[in-house]
């Protein structure tokens, strides 16, 4: 859900981040109240236009999109592939094309058809098939970016305004009393700073905490 929050808060972050590029379970954390936060912006791409592309080979092997492995130019839809891989892992326990052999896993990502077991809803199946489309031009989100995912039937029960403004009570509260992110402005690299805008945002090993005060 965090990558969806990033896109839905485009007015806040679009000037800083165009593509996150490394969505994976290890980078999705909970704040002290149980709300999702995203960490590690070391691989994010900045200032990519809506139809622009980049070609840096980066990411985590299990979640790399086919166009990245092909070393082709890629765009924001790489994040939607990563989202699909994370959702698949949440439903099935492993990434969609996982293998202990990295070369075999890369081959699976490039060539193996997506296999979905029958123990998920039709809306979940349709969502995964759309996000894990190997052709990025046909991938869910390729036409209307975040709005295309937001309007998918799988997310129809969600009140997005309440979600962004943290009006939905998280199902789990870690009961952490100390908030380690206290500075309104964090300088990580000599020429990069991130200011507080309705939440907490930091590059590098920092976190982004959208919506909330």
User: 22 near 43, Cβ under 8 Å?
Assistant: yes
DSSP, res 55: -
Indicate the length of the chain as a whole number: 213
Could you confirm whether 145 is annotated as catalytic? no
**78 to each of 19, 22, 58, 59, 120, how far by Cα in Å?**
8, 9, 11, 10, 24
Angle of CA points 48, 38, 174, to nearest 5°? 170
**Catalytic, out of 22, 31, 75, 79:** 22
DSSP 142-198: TTTTHHHHHTSGGGTT--HHHHHTT-SPPS--------S---SEEEEETTEEEE-SS
Considering only CA atoms, which of 25, 19, 21, 18 is closest in space to residue 1? Answer: 25
Q: List, by residue number, the catalytic residues.
A: 22
């Amino acid at each position: 859900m965090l990558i969806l929050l990033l896109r839905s808060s485009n007015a806040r972050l679009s000037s800083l981040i165009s593509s996150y590029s490394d969505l994976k379970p290890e980078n999705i954390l909970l704040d002290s109240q149980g709300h999702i936060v995203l960490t590690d912006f070391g691989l994010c791409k900045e200032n990519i236009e809506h139809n622009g592309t980049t070609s840096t080979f980066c990411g985590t092997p299990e979640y790399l999109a086919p166009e990245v492995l092909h070393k082709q130019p890629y765009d924001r839809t790489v994040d939607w592939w990563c989202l699909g891989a994370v959702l698949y892992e949440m439903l099935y326990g492993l990434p969609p094309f996982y293998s202990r052999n990295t070369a075999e896993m890369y081959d699976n990502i490039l060539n193996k058809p997506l296999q979905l077991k029958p123990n998920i809803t039709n809306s979940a199946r349709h969502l995964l098939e759309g996000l894990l489309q190997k052709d990025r031009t046909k991938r869910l989100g390729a036409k209307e970016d975040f709005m295309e995912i937001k309007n998918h039937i799988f997310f129809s029960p969600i009140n997005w305004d309440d979600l962004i403004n943290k009006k939905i009570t998280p199902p789990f509260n870690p009961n952490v009393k100390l908030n380690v992110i206290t500075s309104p402005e964090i300088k990580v690299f000599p020429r990069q700073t991130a200011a507080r805008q309705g939440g907490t945002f930091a590059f590098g090993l920092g976190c982004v905490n959208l919506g909330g005060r």
